[in-house]
A = this chain, B = another copy of it.
Amino acid sequence: MNVIEIGKRARAASRLLARATGQARAGVLFALADHLVDASDAILEANQIDVQQGRRDGLTPAMLDRLTINPSRLAGMAADLRSLALLVDPVGEIFDETVLPNGLQVHKQRVPLGVLGVIYEARPNVTIDVAGLTIKTANVAILRGGSETINTNRVLVKQVQVALSENGLPPDAIQFVDDPDRGRVLELLQLHEYVDMLIPRGGAGLHQYCRENSRIPVITGGIGVCHLYVDETADLEAALTVIQNAKVQRPTVCNALDTVLVHQEIAFEFLAQLVKYLEKDGVIFKADPAAMEALRLSRQDVPASVSPAIEADFNTEWLSLVLGLKVVASMDEAIEHIARHSTGHSDGILTQDQEHAQQFVAEVDSAAVYVNASTRFTDGAQLGLGAEVAISTQRLHARGPMGLRELTTYKWVIHGEYHVRKG
């Protein structure tokens, strides 16, 4: 099937999904959870074909790990679908109700966004994750997974389509571009007539490609050069644990810490403690000249885990156990550094001073701004959204973790008594 035909079918399915009850949509998720368990033999078998091909193609162990489905991961996917099904349905919610002076009754009503295009890489769990979020919010989706996982995705999408049919909903609500040719991605990016929003889930290259080639609005995000600024009033012992958590707990994700900015008044004392504290976790450090000097003075020699930073280091999303260190003369300098180097994902201050906290929050313009907490909380589940489809670092539509509500739009509904406009 060509991509335009897929788009037409998606648009047609979209109208049916928008009319489906919340109960029917949740029913699909419960059914799908059951089918993932029932069909586990077929799923694991297809996944093994992809994994073996991946090995032959020389995928890295990390990529092979992301590609692999095992019975416990499958059970996790099913459990996630069941929790998702139980989240409050945003579709149909009425808000901003008002009666105008002329008597017109006006409100907004939350409706599905329509057709989502989702382009992702070698993680088959995204297929189920996105299908669940899409159906729960009465949207439909066109999925384009990585070619490395095509056999797994075929079987997974089939389960989704069976669950849709069983609940009286069109199987075209979740379609899969089943062609590894990359030309299909470009075709998908042109389908503005049939696709309302594009969500790339992958690295910076994929996001850039989509932004440059798409005629459909793109949600870009998921790239985080994240900062914590340690103010001179911070509780330094507590700061160590927050920085450790932000850097070490899961260094490969976008909300992991990349750079620590330290006020010069405490740099001499704190940097030596920090390096000592994180060295045992295997962290290595890229330090600016002042941080190098502070470490030299406090520890006699610079530890082997520390090397001088080059300017580009402070623009790097490390996704590994590397941490930038920089000494600043003031909070203003820290805020200025963040304005220049942050990707607008997650940045925070550690401080005991309320006024400093207030100024930092007012002036740092990132999707998530923290006072005395780890950047690792920028996550739909952690921030109480229940689920997330992406973390947006752009400014339109939604910013930060995008949950169910962010997969909807609204319409204005106006009731009158044969009202006419005067003037």
Question: Which of A's residues lie within 8 Å of B, judged by CB?
Answer: 15, 18-19, 98, 100, 104, 106, 109, 111, 113-114, 192, 196-197, 211-212, 215, 217-218, 235, 238-239, 241-242, 244-246, 249, 339, 348, 350, 357, 361-363, 365-374, 376-378, 382-384, 394-397, 399-401, 409-421
Contacts and interface: CB of A to CB of B under 8 A. Distances in A.
Contacts of A365: 15, 18, 111, 411
27 contacts: A18-B363, A100-B382, A104-B373, A104-B377, A106-B384, A196-B396, A212-B215, A217-B218, A217-B396, A242-B418, A242-B420, A249-B420, A361-B413, A366-B411, A368-B411, A368-B412, A370-B414, A371-B416, A372-B416, A373-B416, A374-B416, A374-B421, A376-B420, A377-B419, A382-B421, A395-B409, A399-B410
Nearest to A213: B215
Given A211-B192, A368-B412, A394 B241 contact: no
Contacts of A239: 418
Main secondary structure of the interface of A (DSSP, over half): mixed
Nearest to A361: B413
A197 B397 CA distance: 11
Given A249-B421, A400-B412, 8 more contacts: A19-B363, A196-B395, A238-B418, A357-B415, A367-B412, A368-B412, A383-B414, A396-B409
Contacts of A215: 211-212
Contacts of A421: 245, 249, 374, 376-377, 382
Contacts of A371: 413-416
A19 B417 CA distance: 45
Contact of A113 (B218, B395, B419): B395
Contacts of A211: 192, 215
A134 to B, nearest CB: 15
Nearest to A216: B211
A32 B420 CA distance: 34
Contacts of A192: 211
A112 B211 CA distance: 22
A362 B19 contact: yes
Nearest to A394: B217
